[in-house]
Amino acid sequence: MRRASLLKFSLDMDSGVFVRDEHLTSRDGYIVKLEEDKKIGYGEIAPLPGFSEETLEQVFVQAQEMLIQWLDNKALDYTHAYASVAFGISMAQAELEDRIPHQITYESVVLCSGDPDDVMKHLENVTPKVAKEKVGLYEPIRDALTTKTLLQSLPDLHLRLDANRSWNEKKAAYFVKYLPLELRKRILFFEEPCKTVELSIKFAQENQFKLAWDESLREALLNQDEDRVNFLLQCDEANTIVIKPSITGSLDRCLALVQSAQQYGKEVVISSSFETSFGLSQLSRLAKWLTPETLPGLDTLRFFAEQLEVKWPGFNTNKYIKFEELEISWFKNAL
């Protein structure tokens, strides 16, 4: 006997969270629950404003349509499904079928933010000494000096830098001007430094950086531009692919992308996009399974005031909510 449910959640966020200039006061979405005999599988469906093309209303309608197909024992085709719906339902299926490991490692690369002294004190006890730094939010000279201070203070530290395509050629040049060449060797990769792929490649060639693709690759996948996808995967200047599964698509699509990237010798970093603590726990399990030698980037829970189902160590929130406390927005039994 099969059953399917959609449980509505709305978790409060830190009041100062902005995603692509949109103020995100709450994280809203659905938990999909699949039941078959005595087995249960869960997944999270939560389109991210500013990143996802779909709205919460659209995913609610599409998720119901796909779950009705599942209840009728029909194979689900995720090809044209919204990314958040495809990932959430496919993860619930994978849990139901026991396809993904159960262990949650709670591992994540350290994000350098807040008071610099506190960051360095924390990094002193981190092994391996790898951290992520967001650049492009302030003036490039300030970013360069911060990066320089971190690397000089901790001689065994290696950094992942992420600029979210913030810089033009002039700003990128300012950053490089204030960061000595000997320190650049300890930057593992530079994620999307410039506004275009071509400018990023030029920047990497001229300054001895390696790149990581994130938004550019995801956009090529969304546009079904196979030539662009292959170009990015084969790009010699890039050594890393960053995958945000919940805004990329189904589990199988993510698996195929990981395999393709690794086939071309690229490292893969599983990264978060403001999932709940439950959603992060699933990404943690995926990362340990698919990229066991690489620390994932699961650093967005600090923006939440509440946690859902899974208590993430090290994060003190005002409220912890169980699935059983959520509103059932839709429920249906197989006929």
State both tokens at 203. 């920047």
Q: Could you tell me which residues come within 8 angstroms of residue 319 by beta carbon, excluding any fewer than 6 positions away? A: 12, 305, 306, 307
Kindly name the residue from 33, 132, 171, 244 that is annotated as catalytic: 244
Kindly name the residue from 134, 148, 177, 322 that is annotated as catalytic: 134
Pairing relationship of beta strands 39-45 and 26-36 according to DSSP bridges: antiparallel
CA distances from 206 to 25, 88, 151, 261 (A): 41, 41, 21, 24
Return d(Cα 23, Cα 15) in angstroms, integer: 8
Return d(Cα 145, Cα 261) in angstroms, integer: 33
Q: Are 88 and 81 in contact (CB under 8 A)?
A: no
Return d(Cα 107, Cα 285) in angstroms, integer: 10
Return d(Cα 114, Cα 129) in angstroms, integer: 18
DSSP string for residues in 38-77: TEEEEEEE---TTT-SS-HHHHHHHHHHHHHHHHTTPPP-
Across the strands, what pairs with 307?
Answer: 320
Q: Is 167 buried (19+), middle (13-18) or exposed (0-12) by CB count in 10 A?
A: buried
Mark residue 274 as left, alpha or beta (left: phi above 0; alpha: psi -120 to 50; beta: remaining): left
Active site residue 134: yes
Across the strands, what pairs with 211?
Answer: 190, 238
Active site residue 244: yes
Q: Which residues are catalytic, by number? A: 134, 244
